[in-house]
Chain A
Amino acid sequence: MSDTAAPLKLFAKKERVFPKRVWGTFRKIKWVAMVTLLGIYYLAPFLRWDRGEFAPDQAILIDMPARRAYFFFIEIWPQEVYYLTGILIVAAVSLFLVTSLFGRVWCGYACPQTVWTDLFVWVERIVQGDRAKRMKLHKSKWTFEKIWKMALTHSIWLVIGMLTGGAWVFYFNDAPTLLEQIIHLDVPMSVISWVIALTLSTYIMAGFAREQVCEYMCPYARFQSAMFDKDTLIISYDEDRGEKRGKHKKGESWEGRGHCIDCTACVQVCPVGIDIRDGLQMDCIACGLCIDACDDIMDKIDLPRGLIKYDTTTQLEKRREGIHEKLQIFRTRTFYYFGILAVVGSVILYGLLNRAETELHVLHDRNPLFVQLSDGTVRNGYDIKILNKTHADRHFTLSAAGIDGAKIRMQGAGKIEADDLTVFADSVGHFRLFLSAPKPAAKRHEIVFELRDTSGALVETYDSVFISEKP
């Protein structure tokens, strides 16, 4: 290694970030977003939705023991988890779309990691003071003041963590009932363990890991650049206008120098601790706080705002040529994202609107495949499942079509007849069925089971087989 070059450092210790307080448009948006999102999170489980006598009245509920998920008018049985796939695709593509338009705004305003971290930093500031005081306290010895301030901060964090975990469990239980149980300290073990787990993860993630989650743990941070292009809005420092930066005394001329006075306000407020003037970085969560900070400075020194702003590369380039360029929302990329969203969204909507209220499933016996009866006919056995997803008891008639001279016999406790199968509300009816018929010409004969309701209307069919000889 040459002596002249400064030794290359491969390792850097993590610097603790103490974001400074800032006020402005984007800070306001962040507060509004936080209050709205937390409000939804904490209150949503208490919304009611009348589903009749046999189903829960909670608008959003994941009912694990009964294996049902409810979301307002949507009701999902375990057989239908593919809706979840659809919803995840929509969520992912929406994220891609938003990212290609506005960059990492999800991260800046809506991501739970950001929202809770923001809340935790706010607590920190209320208890320990703003940036400078916090830094001083952090470096100071363990005085009484430091101890009580730290203890208070961490206690409040833990309480917030507990409320976070506490709200989570309401989505999996009837909320008012659980609330009453909690008040009476009579809570199931599973609930307690969830609350503990979420309390700790909130405390650790928002209290300690913070921006490191966004930088090192979040996979989205790693591939979001793939969704960026020249027309994506990114937080950018206008180098053309800002450089050469340098200290500026009041009354001095702005001739021959840039507008950035190197006050580092933008760096001090940044929750991930980066200097946006170095250009767009992966770590930047597009929260806009540096914009607020710099705008504030610009106001003070009587220069136009917008030294740091949401900008696109295209706009920047055009500006150099003196052209005012509008934001290009419809580009090939966004067009594709819109397209995918439209297709997947319509498929899901179609599925939900045309969701079968009744399902029929037939499983042909494998052992034995068929039974030879004494009068020469052949008999096959089937397991029948009828899913009644309505909230009322229903009666059905089951018959087999496509085979001549077939006779159906139901097997089970009590008297069960194929023309009156009862399936209770919101449950699965399980039946045994024997079908006997004169040996058909084919070893394997295609048949169709038909399920009708009491009015005789065909509800569901199921293609099955009738086997009469060893294959």
Chain B
Amino acid sequence: MRPEKKDIDELSGIETTGHSWDGIKELNTPSPRWWLIIFIVSCVWAVGYWFYYPAWPTLTGNGERGGTEGTAGWTQYKQLEEQQAEIVARKAAYQSRFDASDFSTIQNDEELYAFAIAGGKSAFKDNCATCHGTGGAGGPGYPNLNDDDWIWGGTIEDIQQTLQYGIRGNHDETRFNEMPAYADILDAEDIEAVADYVVAKAAGNALPERGAVVFEENCAACHGEDAKGLRELGGPNLADAIWLYADDRNAIVSQIRKPKHGIMPAWEGRLSPSTIRQLTIYVHSLGGGEK
């Protein structure tokens, strides 16, 4: 039903649509003009936008990674590449300085040092944290890189060597030494005796005689006469407060009987030489780095 003349609502003074539901009428309040104009302008704008920018997926995909190309030739991929190139270029300035400098120069240059620590830290989290923990604190069987106890040496060159070639790894230059299983070599009593000796040694107590003899004959070759370890052979220091596997007597006995050995993979070839150098400086900075 169309009303012949405008039906004005008494209360609001606004025209109604003329529709009536159970006596309730609807006011005719069209969208405001300004709103409509913006809407139309947006529609027109959108059409231009579709041509100017990549907008539509296509079946053949002649644009970059599928879709229309846009007359502006702009894509997010291109933008990303440009931005990345910018970052790489910015980084390159430090990178070339870093590559041309030796360790001691880097360690004395605030900028290069910060560059190395930042790079080393993220490489560490990506590659090393799995075994050594995100903070480098290790765990049973995985050396703590924060402390001052090093099995194969803690100078910057030692750390670089370990990182590069690994320990008991598959690189030709890897350092490789394993503790034999003494369950096959010594009798049970000797093993108990030498375990007592090691515990006493670490605690600084009086040393049992029989254990001393057994140690001297079997262990000193790798762990040193004084049990303080031999780094050339990767024999850990047994006379200090740090234990790689466990510090109670039972664990020591079982390590003597059937030793466990960790493997450190060689990172040469897997990480760039520069990353390995950054990692070296980072690990050295954790607190135990030796001069």
Which one of A10, A373, A375, A434 lies within 8 Å of B12 (CB-CB)?
A10
The distance in angstroms between the C-alpha atoms of A381 and B14, with both chains bound, is 75
Say yes or no for A412: interface residue by CB 8 A criterion. yes
Q: Which of B75-83, B90-98, B108-116, B191-199 contacts A (4 or more CB under 8 A)?
A: B108-116
* Interface residues on chain A, size class: 20 to 34
Report which residue of A8, A371, A376, A434 has the largest number of chain B beta carbons within 10 angstroms of its beta carbon: A371
Given contacts A1-B10, A7-B11, A11-B13, contact A371 B287 (CB under 8 A): yes
Which one of B10, B14, B137 lies within 8 Å of A367 (CB-CB)?
B137
Say yes or no for B155: interface residue by CB 8 A criterion. no
Q: Which residues of B contact A379 (CB under 8 A)?
A: 146-147, 287
Asked if residues A374 and B149 are in contact (CB atoms below 8 Å), the reply is: yes
Q: Which residue of A lies closest to B135 (CB)?
A: A367
Asked if residues B133 and A372 are in contact (CB atoms below 8 Å), the reply is: no
Shortest CB distance A408–B (Å): 13
Q: Which residue of A lies closest to B109 (CB)?
A: A413
Say yes or no for A411: interface residue by CB 8 A criterion. yes
Q: Which residues of A contact B109 (CB under 8 A)?
A: 413-414
Q: Is the interface of B mostly helix, strand, loop or mixed?
A: loop
Asked if residues A413 and B113 are in contact (CB atoms below 8 Å), the reply is: yes
Asked if residues A372 and B11 are in contact (CB atoms below 8 Å), the reply is: no
Q: Which residues of A contact B160 (CB under 8 A)?
A: none
Within residues 52 to 98 of chain B, which ones have a CB less than 8 A from any CB in chain A? none
Shortest CB distance A241–B (Å): 38
Shortest CB distance B6–A (Å): 15
Asked if residues B107 and A413 are in contact (CB atoms below 8 Å), the reply is: yes
Say yes or no for A219: interface residue by CB 8 A criterion. no
Say yes or no for A300: interface residue by CB 8 A criterion. no
Q: Which residues of A contact B146 (CB under 8 A)?
A: 368, 371, 379, 381
Given contacts A11-B14, A367-B134, A371-B144, contact A413 B110 (CB under 8 A): yes
Asked if residues A414 and B144 are in contact (CB atoms below 8 Å), the reply is: no
Within residues 1 to 52 of chain B, which ones have a CB less than 8 A from any CB in chain A? 10-14
Given contacts A11-B13, A413-B109, contact A372 B287 (CB under 8 A): no
Shortest CB distance B178–A (Å): 23
Say yes or no for A320: interface residue by CB 8 A criterion. no
The distance in angstroms between the C-alpha atoms of A11 and B237, with both chains bound, is 91
Shortest CB distance B29–A (Å): 10
The distance in angstroms between the C-alpha atoms of A70 and B115, with both chains bound, is 33
The distance in angstroms between the C-alpha atoms of A9 and B113, with both chains bound, is 76
Shortest CB distance A430–B (Å): 10
The distance in angstroms between the C-alpha atoms of A365 and B12, with both chains bound, is 69
Q: Which residue of B lies closest to A11 (CB)?
A: B12
Report which residue of B107, B137, B144 has the largest number of chain A beta carbons within 10 angstroms of its beta carbon: B137
Asked if residues A374 and B12 are in contact (CB atoms below 8 Å), the reply is: no
Asked if residues A373 and B113 are in contact (CB atoms below 8 Å), the reply is: no
Q: Which residue of A lies closest to B241 (CB)?
A: A376
The distance in angstroms between the C-alpha atoms of A201 and B110, with both chains bound, is 47
Q: Which residues of A contact B226 (CB under 8 A)?
A: none
Say yes or no for B271: interface residue by CB 8 A criterion. no
Which one of B135, B136, B240, B285 lies within 8 Å of A375 (CB-CB)?
B240
Given contacts A11-B12, A11-B14, A368-B135, contact A374 B240 (CB under 8 A): yes
The distance in angstroms between the C-alpha atoms of A81 and B182, with both chains bound, is 67
The distance in angstroms between the C-alpha atoms of A332 and B148, with both chains bound, is 70
Q: Is the interface of A mostly helix, strand, loop or mixed?
A: loop
Say yes or no for B242: interface residue by CB 8 A criterion. yes
Q: Which residues of B contact A415 (CB under 8 A)?
A: 108
Given contacts A367-B135, A411-B287, A412-B113, contact A372 B242 (CB under 8 A): yes
Q: Which residue of B lies closest to A415 (CB)?
A: B108
Instruction: Mark contacts of A410-422 with chain B using CB atoms, 8 A cut-off: 1 yes-contact digit, 0 otherwise.
Output: 0111110000000
The distance in angstroms between the C-alpha atoms of A412 and B285, with both chains bound, is 8
Q: Which residues of A contact B14 (CB under 8 A)?
A: 11
Which one of A368, A373, A374 lies within 8 Å of B137 (CB-CB)?
A368
* Interface residues on chain B, size class: 20 to 34
The distance in angstroms between the C-alpha atoms of A412 and B149, with both chains bound, is 20
The distance in angstroms between the C-alpha atoms of A154 and B229, with both chains bound, is 89
The distance in angstroms between the C-alpha atoms of A281 and B146, with both chains bound, is 73
Q: Which residues of B contact A368 (CB under 8 A)?
A: 133, 135-137, 144, 146
Asked if residues A372 and B147 are in contact (CB atoms below 8 Å), the reply is: yes
Shortest CB distance B233–A (Å): 18
Q: Which residues of B contact A11 (CB under 8 A)?
A: 12-14
The distance in angstroms between the C-alpha atoms of A367 and B138, with both chains bound, is 11
Q: Which residues of B contact A10 (CB under 8 A)?
A: 11-13
Given contacts A10-B11, A11-B12, A368-B146, contact A375 B241 (CB under 8 A): yes
Instruction: Mark contacts of A363-406 with chain B using CB atoms, 8 A cut-off: 1 yes-contact digit, 0 otherwise.
Output: 00111100111111001010000000000000000000000000
The distance in angstroms between the C-alpha atoms of A432 and B133, with both chains bound, is 20
Q: Which residues of B contact A414 (CB under 8 A)?
A: 107-110, 113
Asked if residues B110 and A371 are in contact (CB atoms below 8 Å), the reply is: no
Report which residue of A372, A376, A381, A415 has the largest number of chain B beta carbons within 10 angstroms of its beta carbon: A372
Shortest CB distance A379–B (Å): 6
Asked if residues B10 and A7 are in contact (CB atoms below 8 Å), the reply is: yes
Shortest CB distance A87–B (Å): 37
Shortest CB distance A184–B (Å): 28
Which one of A8, A374, A412, A434 lies within 8 Å of B241 (CB-CB)?
A374
Which one of A366, A367, A371, A411 lies within 8 Å of B147 (CB-CB)?
A371
Q: Which residues of B contact A371 (CB under 8 A)?
A: 137, 144, 146-147, 287-288
Shortest CB distance A214–B (Å): 23
The distance in angstroms between the C-alpha atoms of A414 and B135, with both chains bound, is 23
Within residues 131 to 165 of chain B, which ones have a CB less than 8 A from any CB in chain A? 133-137, 144, 146-149
Within residues 6 to 46 of chain A, which ones have a CB less than 8 A from any CB in chain B? 7-11
Within residues 321 to 375 of chain A, which ones have a CB less than 8 A from any CB in chain B? 365-368, 371-375
The distance in angstroms between the C-alpha atoms of A98 and B12, with both chains bound, is 40
Asked if residues A411 and B285 are in contact (CB atoms below 8 Å), the reply is: yes
Instruction: Mark contacts of B113-132 with chain A using CB atoms, 8 A cut-off: 1 yes-contact digit, 0 otherwise.
Output: 11000000000000000000
Q: Which residues of B contact A9 (CB under 8 A)?
A: 11-13
Shortest CB distance A258–B (Å): 34
The distance in angstroms between the C-alpha atoms of A434 and B137, with both chains bound, is 15
Shortest CB distance A376–B (Å): 4
Q: Which residues of A contact B144 (CB under 8 A)?
A: 368, 371-372
Asked if residues A373 and B147 are in contact (CB atoms below 8 Å), the reply is: yes
Apart from A368-B136, A373-B242, A379-B146, 5 more pairs, CB < 8 Å: A11-B13, A372-B242, A374-B241, A379-B287, A381-B146
Nearest 4 interchain pairs by C-beta = A367-B135, A413-B113, A374-B240, A368-B137
Q: Which residues of A contact B (CB under 8 A)?
A: 1, 7-11, 365-368, 371-376, 379, 381, 411-415, 432, 434
Residue contacts A-B, CB under 8 angstroms, 22 given = A7-B10, A9-B11, A10-B11, A10-B12, A368-B144, A371-B137, A371-B147, A371-B287, A372-B147, A372-B242, A373-B147, A373-B149, A373-B242, A374-B149, A374-B237, A374-B242, A375-B240, A381-B287, A413-B113, A414-B109, A414-B110, A414-B113
